[in-house]
A and B are shown apart, each in its own frame.
Chain A
Amino acid sequence: MPLHLSEPERHLLSGASGEAAAMAMRVVTSAAELLGASSLVEISSAHIDGCLHHGDGGVEFAETLVKGGGEVAVPTTLNVGALDLLHPDVVQADAHKTDMARRQMEAYVAMGAQPTFTCAPYQVGHEPGVGEQVAWGESNAIAFVNSVLGARTERYGDFLDACCALTGRAPLYGLHLAENRRATVVVDATDVPSELKGRDVFFPVLGTWLGLEIGQEISVIKGLPESTTRDQLKALGAAAASSGAVALFHVAGVTPEAPTVPAALGLGLPSDPAASNQSWGRQPMWPTPRTIELDSGSVRAALQRLSTAAGTDRIDAVALGSPHFSADEFRALHHCLRGRQMGTPFYVCTARDTLAEIDAIGIADELRASGVEIVADTCVVVTPILPAKNGVLMTNSGKFAHYGPSNTGYDVLYGSLEDCVESAITGEVVRSSEVWVW
């Protein structure tokens, strides 16, 4: 199917709005053709995951756009870079890499993107509404904006996210279209004890299981409490997008496109054949989605998978904050620590804006005085921050548990926030296990 472009889109392509806009439009239209889209869709915001230095080509790309007069066409936030620009000594990289990583981050700021440098832009004021068309990169941010906010993005990656931001357009395909956002799998968590479903520590495990079980399908989870928090949904999506390629999940009664299970399954959408059948009171023609009952064996298998150092009794470091810690999570950490002193290196990764927020209420200084190192703009699995090349890293993050071994050389141990704090104080592993037994 040939790609149809509107008059303003052809204008951008012609170079009349500058060479950078034309180059960005060529990349977006090439992608649209590769993906089989027949037109582009106007977007209202973008989140660029192109600030992280993988090699000098990323710098060359961004600086070429700057030289061509590139400016973002829609409000745009930036994902983490390879440096903590606020605390330059945190990252241990060589001079060339440090220089190039900085240039890469600065080039996107020069194009008008906000210097948020966070994988959780939704925690620093970037919250598109239900049904808004956006172009976001970074797997956890994609899962969150689609699932928890109900805005619509596909999985955008390096280069294409930036080109969408510069043109204000994205290929119209996939999750931009309502009919592709229906759940095809029902996950029934009814039998999981309420005690466990109310705990933060459950959600990265649920997400890990979900990603492994359904890959990139869309699920609706039923049986979770209405009180499920945004931080819990954030942890669920980040883990599911690490172990699988989950870009959208629904939670019945909790997320905006799933007031009910049938709603999430798309029963009632105008293009749904079942909708027209219902008026005659007949059974819907729509294929019956498969249902998976979440049982204790599956949950415990996912829990075990998050630890590669399960037999160890000592840890060498703790890392929290993937996705970046929210102000609420900092309050919980502060409450849990109660002024005690860490006996183990303890890192918490967050956005500079969130850091400013907790600085303002005095929590940041108290945490630092207890030995907590707060990392901004980046995180411990994308750039060298941890004190050694190997050891045992404890975390409450499903995403850190997934990427830790390959990216840092550390073995990982998964536990709750409370487990991480108690273990860090003595260096000896404390893990509460009773909550997992049913």
Chain B
Amino acid sequence: MSDSAAIQVRGRPLIPGEGSGPLLRLTHPISFWGGVDPTSGQIVDPRHPEFSSSITGTVLAIPAAVGSSSSSAIMLELLREGTAPAAILMGKADAILALGGVVGGELGYAPIPIIEVSAAELERLPDGTRVAVHADGTVTSE
């Protein structure tokens, strides 16, 4: 980006940590169970607008998580398989995905930060850029 002024937004860490990657903004809520294949890291729900995108290594911005509480198990599988995003930014806090992260940490898999960021703040992050998540819950575009 030619714009040298980095954007910074502030969020609330559900699981604190650091990570960076290209921003992947989902335009629709997603159920990880039935929606994400932990082996490939791809979005496999054909009804989802970002169908077939890979979430691996991205900073994944999602408006909300929906659906089955088995999504905790898929979150754990993503951490085990090394196919997880670098970080997750959620418009609405959700205990199900975060719980998968907590259990992943208990089992010794490197946790990823999960940050609650308001929808308005998420909007400020420019598409097509790399973003970094910091331990205090701030998110900056690079």
Contact = CB atoms under 8 A, between A and B. Distances in A.
A52 B33 CA distance: 13
Nearest to B104: A57
A336 interface: no
Instruction: Give chain A's interface residue range (CB within 8 Å of chain B).
Output: 20 to 34
A35 B95 contact: yes
Interface string A11-46: 000000000000100110011001100000000000
Given A34-B93, A61-B76, A160 B33 contact: no
A157 B74 contact: no
A26 B98 CA distance: 13
A158 B34 contact: no
B33 A54 contact: yes
Main secondary structure of the interface of B (DSSP, over half): helix
B73 interface: yes
Interface in A48-107: 49-50, 52, 54-58, 60-61, 64
A49 B33 CA distance: 14
Q: Which of A26, A31, A157 has the most CB of B within 10 A?
A: A157
Given A31-B95, A35-B95, A57-B77, A157 B70 contact: yes
Interface string B58-73: 0000000000111111
Nearest to B67: A245
Nearest to A162: B103
A156 B69 CA distance: 7
Contacts of B113: none
B102 A54 contact: no
B99 A160 contact: yes
B74 A159 contact: no
B38 interface: yes
A55 B102 contact: no
Q: Which of A52, A156, A158 has the most CB of B within 10 A?
A: A158
A417 B115 CA distance: 48
A406 interface: yes
Contact of B106 (A27, A50, A52): A27
B5 interface: no
Contact of A57 (B76, B99, B102): B76
Given A34-B99, A35-B95, A155 B69 contact: yes
Interface in B1-50: 14, 33-34, 38
Interface of A: 23, 26-27, 30-31, 34-35, 49-50, 52, 54-58, 60-61, 64, 137, 155-160, 406
Q: Please give me the 3 A-B residue pairs with the lowest Cβ-Cβ distance, nearest first.
A: A157-B69, A55-B77, A57-B76
